Chains A and B, each alone.
Chain A
Amino acid sequence: MAAEVSPRAKIWLGVASVPIILYTLLPIGWILSLSLKSSGSITDRAYASLNKKAWSWENYRYILTGAGGSLFRPALVNSIVICLIATVVGVGLSTFAAYGIARLDFPGKRLILNTALLTAFFPAISIVTPLFNLWRSIGLYNTTLGLIIPYLSLTLPISIWTLTAFFRQIPWEMEQAAQVDGATSWQAFRKVVFPLAAPGVFTVAIISFFTAWNDFVYAISLSSTTGSTAPHFTGSQTVPAVLGFFQGPSQFIPPTGYVAAAAVIVTVPVVILVLFFQKRIVAGLTAGAVKG
């Protein structure tokens, strides 16, 4: 399938990709550089020195163990807990829903798919205000569940669509063969269909996690505190929301350095996830199942 690329073309492609790589890496480098500067030098409009000894860990110390830690650490825990639960529940639900849609013939099948797509069309901002009022009256405001539910509504449509496409690719004979071999429907699903759909499931899991991890609108609207700080012992504010309202130790010092350090920290799980799952998202796993 892959077109033959001549060595010459490869060189040119490499050269052409350099500006794009620089363009995408510059802001990340800048954030990293900001996070390593002391508060005094933050406005000097220069990259942090490459000399390791000149790096200042003041920002990280403040955000993790210092005064800022009481705000940042619970927010980080909130983010991780909420995103993991939303991902696991979302992937579970969408796997079963997609399997049903791909395999079964029932009235209203198209309706479900189209409705799922339709809900994804609504901009978050149009839903968030009514949701805020509703959550307040039924007691979901500023709770973990109160954020998980909107995240599910964000990720389920795309997850169901993606996984339906994946399940449709799996030859039905595979499942029928398993049934003839003596498998129950559940065994056939668990031992044959699910392993074959694994690349799709991992893809969907990653997309779901990132959607929740990066969300800002719902987080600032449906939560107010991080919890575990007096006087509020409950709360579900996540890292993006906390950073959005972060003021730092003094109103006279801009919190740029602290925010940069926090931003670097929340990027780490994302990078780890991508590196970890990259190997698992292998396309073409079904190759060789049938004569092709």
Chain B
Amino acid sequence: MSTIQLKHITKVYGDGFKAVTDVNIDVGDGEFLILVGPSGSGKSTVLRMIVGLEDISSGDLLIGGERVNDKAPRDRNLSMVFQNYALYPHLTVFENIAFPLRLHKNRQSNDEINRLVNEVADVLELKEHLQRKPANLSGGQRQRVAMGRAIIRQADAFLFDEPLSNLDAKLRGQMRTEIARLQRRLGITTVYVTHDQTEAMTLGDRVALLRRGVLQQVASPRELYEQPVNLFVAGFIGSPPMNFLPATVHEGKLQMPFVDVDIPPAIASRLTDGELMVVGVRPEAFEDASMLDESRRASGATFQAPIDVTEWLGNEKYAYVPFEPHPDVQAALDELDRELDGEAMRTQLVASIDSKSKIRPGETSELWVDTSAMHVFDPKTGENLTRDEAAAQQIAEENEAERLRQLKQSKPVGDDKVAV
């Protein structure tokens, strides 16, 4: 178990392409850190630099306080699960899992190896498959073999490179829970790369969001969701994504399509009349106005909106409201959409409303929006003007306390006391 520190890590490829720029991350002992970002954001490159499969152009990588930049992968004592598992097809499941131990012949006796492999197989429920070859296993089983190979060694940290992207949706959900359980139980420092924001939000103690090789924000999932630092983070985290509405500053109000709201007092001094801003509102900040009682209605603003399409999902309902954006903001939003691998055909507002709502497509209905949950972004820099540092700090502290509490209950493999 160990800490991993990335200090000013930069990766420049031979052709001059800068894949990763000045990334600083501290991964605490036993922490589960997620590296997330759209494709091409450099997240896998960061992981491969940590494990040593990719050279670090500049900056320092410290594992357990020791600089390991120039160490070969085998000397870094990390274990990794590859996207395609990279199981050895000529070896049985048993030998695949035992492989890291066999490389150090004089370290463990055969009996010891037997015991450890069986213990790992118990944890991962691979007992009855030990003598089979990887070719005869299902995707989920192969995934577990790859994890077995990673956890059998007393590695300082686990690295996962999009381990679930080859599984179908149902299995992915199950394995996600499995990985979370395993990590909590073993309490080993983990760095996990994914492009899937659901995995990022559910698995990680903290999430590091990358965009074109530049670190945007490292924070707990809740902080990313509630206090994003910029337009990119706000747009990436959350499903369906945050709605971005153009807003013009006019006499103390933000004029948006459908509705005008008061400027939050905290940022009033930073806005000048006539300035164009982007307001971000999460879908769940909306509600069908008719479903609310008076006291809640008063805490937000109501407006008339032409509903285009509705989607009923059982526990909630999505209402889509198309609107014409301001051309100046449109460029910024299009750019953001491209970076998030999106292919939005039209600008529309998504409202997540009560599933019992009577709102029908094709009609104009009254919607309510929680004005306190709004974020105001500068369209030029993307900066979130409404981010509350104090609240963010508090979320981070709560998150860290919770993590340490859980870490106390973990037990690494190889301990004889492992409870099965």
Contact = CB atoms under 8 A, between A and B. Distances in A.
Contacts of A177: 80, 82, 86, 88, 149
A142 to B, nearest CB: 44
A27 interface: no
Interface stretch (A6-14, A31-39, A158-166, A182-190): A182-190
B412 interface: no
Interface string A19-42: 000000000000000000000000
A287 B166 CA distance: 16
Contacts, number: 85
Contact of B139 (A182, A187, A286, A291): A291
Interface stretch (B4-12, B98-106, B311-319): B98-106
Contact of A287 (B73, B104, B135, B149): B135
A117 B77 CA distance: 43
B136 interface: yes
Interface stretch (A144-152, A168-176, A242-250): A168-176
A289 interface: yes
A288 interface: yes
B148 to A, nearest CB: 12
A289 B53 CA distance: 20
A5 B3 CA distance: 60
Contacts of B77: 182
Contacts of A287: 89, 135
A290 interface: yes
B86 A179 contact: no
A271 interface: no
A288 B86 contact: no
Interface residues of A, number: 24
A115 B87 CA distance: 36
Contacts of B103: 181-183, 187, 191
Interface string A254-292: 000000000000000000000000000000011111110
A64 interface: no
Contacts of A100: none
Nearest to B143: A291
A289 B88 contact: yes
Contacts of A182: 74, 77, 100, 103-104, 153
Given A287-B135, A288-B134, A291-B166, A176 B88 contact: no
Given A288-B133, A289-B134, A291-B139, A179 B88 contact: no
A183 B74 contact: yes
B85 interface: yes
Residue of A187, A196, A286, A289 most packed against chain B (CB within 10 A) = A289
A171 B308 CA distance: 49
A286 B103 CA distance: 21
Contacts of B104: 182
Given A181-B149, A291-B139, A285 B90 contact: yes
A174 B100 contact: no
Nearest to B51: A180
Interface string A203-237: 00000000000000000000000000000000000
Interface string B127-139: 0000001111101
A192 interface: yes
Nearest to B146: A177
Contact of B79 (A180, A191, A286): A180
A173 B104 CA distance: 21
Contacts of B52: 179-180
A195 interface: yes
A97 interface: no
Nearest to A284: B135
A288 B84 contact: no
A180 B87 contact: no
Interface string B19-44: 00000000000000000000000000
Given A179-B53, A181-B79, A181-B103, A196 B86 contact: no
A176 B135 contact: no
Interface of B: 51-53, 72-74, 77-80, 82-90, 99-100, 103-104, 133-137, 139, 142, 149, 153, 166
> Which 7 residue pairs are nearest across A and B when measured between Cβ atoms?
A288-B135, A290-B84, A177-B86, A289-B89, A173-B86, A181-B100, A291-B166
Given A174-B88, A196-B89, A290-B86, 14 more contacts: A171-B86, A173-B86, A176-B73, A176-B82, A179-B53, A180-B52, A181-B74, A181-B153, A182-B74, A182-B153, A191-B99, A289-B86, A291-B85, A291-B142
